[in-house]
Chains A and B, each alone.
Chain A
Amino acid sequence: MTATSMIETRGLRKAFRGTIVLDGLDLAVQRGQIFALLGPNGAGKTTAVNILTTLLKPDAGTALLDGIDVVRNPAAARAALSLTGQFAAVDPFQTGVENLAMMAHLAHLPRRTAWARVSQLIEQFDLVDAAGKMASTYSGGMRRRLDLAISLISAPPIVVLDEPTTGLDPRSRNQMWDVVRQLTAAGTTILLTTQYLDEADQLADTVAVLNHGAVVASGTPAELKADLDGDRVELVFENDDVYAAAQRAGFGPDATFDPEHASVSVPSSEPVRTTRELLAIADRHSLAVSSIALTKPTLDDVFLHLTGSPVADSTIDSTITTREETAA
């Protein structure tokens, strides 16, 4: 670990009622990076975030923000970070401007800086028309944008985003991504957890895959994908009967069958040769193929490969687990 790490954890452990949630978590995030934590339900993402943001004390291990120990010196750590949680934490009974002005006041910004910052954020987050309206009248996307704007009020060097775009429409999500990219352009270090793999793919410089409270893989999205066997060749069969026959025929030990698409796919470093081989097998068994596709691996595949479960299954009740984790 180098001195340039803005976020660093070493051997972080946490258990709730005997259930191990973090099992020696090691992270190192360099200055100005976007670092994505990916993991299935209960992998410990939110617990890690809660420890880093001083909400929770670890059982063992250290967590440093810009060299500041979050357990020993929480006050200084809080000055270096901001948290945007999973729920839009804005006051419904205050207007957008009032919410921002209150947080600017609490961040102890000088009055003139505060007002400049508030109007800047209102503009940046496309809230000009809604600035004077109660937050209770805001749409989900607007509330989320106000939430992020609030957390950026003091322009902290470290921003922690816990599932920042969950529940947003595509336009709001793109807007959010733009803002996050701008932040790193300004030198901010960002740790984000997300259930959207494309979000990590789009934004993150480094991705760490979390499973059972420890990092099972980390690297750039490209590196993680390269760890898989590269491209895949996929044959889609004409109908379910052909698909059933194809399963009996067998396509080698690496083949993955997908009943939903009635297809088989095989990883390949030489796609042309693999395609010929697969078609030859199909011909031999008189299997009618409706289409052939060459697919690049996605982070979804990486995830499946590393954790044995697709991330999509775990997204629906992520809030429930978060609450269980925090209630414990």
Chain B
Amino acid sequence: MTTTTVPLTTRPTNRPFSDVGAMIVRELRRSIRSVDMLITGLALPAVIMCVFVIIFGGAAERDGHYVQYVVPAILILCSGFGSALTAVTVAKDMREGIIDRFRTMPIFGGSVLVGHVVASVLRNLVASAVVIGVAVLLGYRPEADLGHWILAALYLVLAITAFTWVCCAAGLLLSEEAAQSVNFVFLFLPYVSSGFVPIDTMPTWLQGFARTEPFTPITETMRAFLSNTNPGTNGWLALAWLGGVLVVGYVSSLVLFRSRINH
């Protein structure tokens, strides 16, 4: 056995990009190597796409092909529960004590969280590409021009980032078991929106909620971009919701990270 006799030079150097880069690599390895992340992150979105078009599609045909109607909703739904995986991975990091270790290292504060969020965005963009690929195989015909595709992609990045920061805060606050159920929020709310069925087909008492809840403008904005139109008021509403979620998620994540709340 050998031992270093002189401590290696470690100054409190400030290298935020390098630190965040290492954290992104760390999270991407987790995404690729754990079977449940691969299944929930990539296979499930494809399966959901198939379920909606092949099983529900026949009954839901209304104006034209259902696949044409449902793709934006499935993109938003999958971004939601794809982001919810971050609640679980952050809660795991808390339990395993590695967050404490990072907090005692001279690294850019919160870089581990940024790593989680960036990895989530990349993972969900891949999942979204898979969803669109499956949709095209099922008969989806994109109507958007390049400009609207770019808008749709940027909008999706915003949505995933906002969802992931909120899930990140949830992961810092909740136990690993409780964090597992964060995805129910992202499964339930999109269903009660205009995403999957038009609101006028819902029972009257539910219509008020469906019209005002965030996932209606959020999904309609995505639908507008993908149908090569402008989202109008829905676009601003969606931007306000996602912006608000982003700020709340980001700020509470940083506050929770700095204060020492452990489960």
State the A residues within 8 Å of B (CB).
50, 53-56, 75-76, 78-79, 81-83, 85-94, 98, 102-103, 105-109, 113, 117, 120, 123-124, 134, 150-151, 154-157, 178-179, 182-183, 185-188, 323, 326-327
B201 at the interface (CB under 8 A from A): no
Q: Are B104 and A106 in contact (CB under 8 A)?
A: no
B100 contacts across to A, CB distance below 8 A? 55, 83, 85, 89
C-alpha spacing A229/B91, complex, angstroms: 51
Within 8 A of A (CB), among B116-147: none
C-alpha spacing A257/B18, complex, angstroms: 63
Q: Are A75 and B106 in contact (CB under 8 A)?
A: yes
C-alpha spacing A38/B18, complex, angstroms: 39
C-alpha spacing A42/B30, complex, angstroms: 36
Q: Are A76 and B3 in contact (CB under 8 A)?
A: no
Q: Are B260 and A326 in contact (CB under 8 A)?
A: yes
Count, chain B residues at interface, CB 8 A: 37
Q: Are B1 and A82 in contact (CB under 8 A)?
A: no
B204 at the interface (CB under 8 A from A): no
State the B residues within 8 Å of A (CB).
1-8, 10-13, 15, 18-19, 22, 25-26, 29-30, 33-34, 96-98, 100-107, 260-263
The 7 closest A-B pairs by CB, nearest first: A89-B97, A87-B97, A79-B106, A78-B106, A89-B98, A326-B262, A155-B7
Instruction: Name the CB-closest residue of A to B22.
Output: A105
C-alpha spacing A323/B260, complex, angstroms: 12
A76 contacts across to B, CB distance below 8 A? 12, 106
Q: Contacting A54 at CB < 8 Å: which of B7, B11, B25, B103?
A: B103
Q: Are B1 and A78 in contact (CB under 8 A)?
A: no
Cβ distance A49 to chain B, nearest Cβ, rounded Å: 10
A89 contacts across to B, CB distance below 8 A? 96-98, 100-101
C-alpha spacing A89/B97, complex, angstroms: 5
Which of A91, A98, A108, A134 has the largest count of B CB atoms less than 10 A from its CB?
A108
